[in-house]
Structure 1
Amino acid sequence: MLFGAQHIERYLATDGQEGHDWQGTTAALLTTKGRRTGKQHTTPLIYQQYGDTYLVVASKGGAPQPPEWFLNLEANPEVEFQVWGERFKARARTATAAEKPDMWRVMAAAWPAYDDYQKKTSREIPVVVLERV
């Protein structure tokens, strides 16, 4: 099973042939700019395509605080996203209240544990929309 740095390394080396299909779902690579350091940070995340956009969930397993990558993209929404061998620039934003229910259903269908993560925390777990630029 791929995870963390090894997942990123294999995904990049194989254009996603190793790492895109992950534990019964799909994974992509999100690269954000560190809000304090300015350094690039790449994170493998479960994703789904949604029309012309891509969705990821800032769950951190239902932890009370959001993941670092989410805090980074709040500070700088210009990100890079890689699906298979295609790497592109995108603008990240949090789904609106009107958009979120349908987007959440799509993501929970891809990874049912998201519903459990939301039950574990009082924090509203955001769905992030990635739009190509």
Structure 2
Amino acid sequence: MASFNDTIIETFRANDGVLGGHWEGKESILLHTPGRKSGKEYVNPLVAAPHGDSYIVCASAGGAPETPQWFDNLEAVDGPVTIELGSKTVQADHREVRPGRDDDYDELYATWRAYWPDAADYEKKTDRKFPVAVITVR
């Protein structure tokens, strides 16, 4: 049986990046990151709020108490990452933004929160503030 993320990835690829249902009308990307320890490639589907020439993705994990591994893996990457955007696979620069560390965190998180209606529900599940990343296609 395929995992939830595997099903989303399959649908994303079969429809050139267009997801229906709950994600109807929202931008999404597939983020490829190597595991920090294993080096194994992981692919994570993420809601991507457009922000100028970039996208904001959030490490909310649906309100889970821990930051998802994809975010920690992304922080460990020195250089560009691979993303799938629509029907294209491209290289992208990234910048991780954490609450209490980066001055633009509040603005970036607010942009993602306004874009993704489930964010308010995620916040009710945990006291954790969700870090975000800015992804910019090269």
- Tell me the residue number matched to 2:114: 109
- Tell me the residue number matched to 1:43: 44
Alignment of 1:127 onto 2:129: no
- Tell me the residue number matched to 1:16: 17
TM-score between both structures, scaled by the size of structure 2: 0.80
- Tell me the residue number matched to 1:84: 86
- Tell me the residue number matched to 1:63: 64
Question: SS of the counterpart of 1:92?
Answer: strand
**1:131 CA displacement:** 2.4
Taking a change above 3 Å as real, the CA distance of residues 54 and 67 of structure 1, as seen in their structure-2 partners, is same
5+ unaligned residues in a row in structure 2: which ranges? none
5+ unaligned residues in a row in structure 1: which ranges? none
Taking a change above 3 Å as real, the CA distance of residues 39 and 128 of structure 1, as seen in their structure-2 partners, is same
Higher mean C-alpha displacement, 46-55 vs 112-121:
112-121
Counterpart AA for 1:41: Y
Q: RMSD of the TM alignment (CA)? A: 2.2
Question: SS of the counterpart of 2:27?
Answer: strand
Question: SS of the counterpart of 2:109?
Answer: helix
Higher share in strand: 1
Distance in 2, matches of 1:22 and 1:129, equals 25
Structure 1: 4+ residue segments shifted above 4 A: none
**1:42 CA displacement:** 0.6
Identity value in percent: 36
**1:112 CA displacement:** 2.2
Counterpart contact for 2:27–2:50, Cα < 8 Å: no
TM-score between both structures, scaled by the size of structure 1: 0.83
**1:85 CA displacement:** 1.1
- Tell me the residue number matched to 2:103: 98
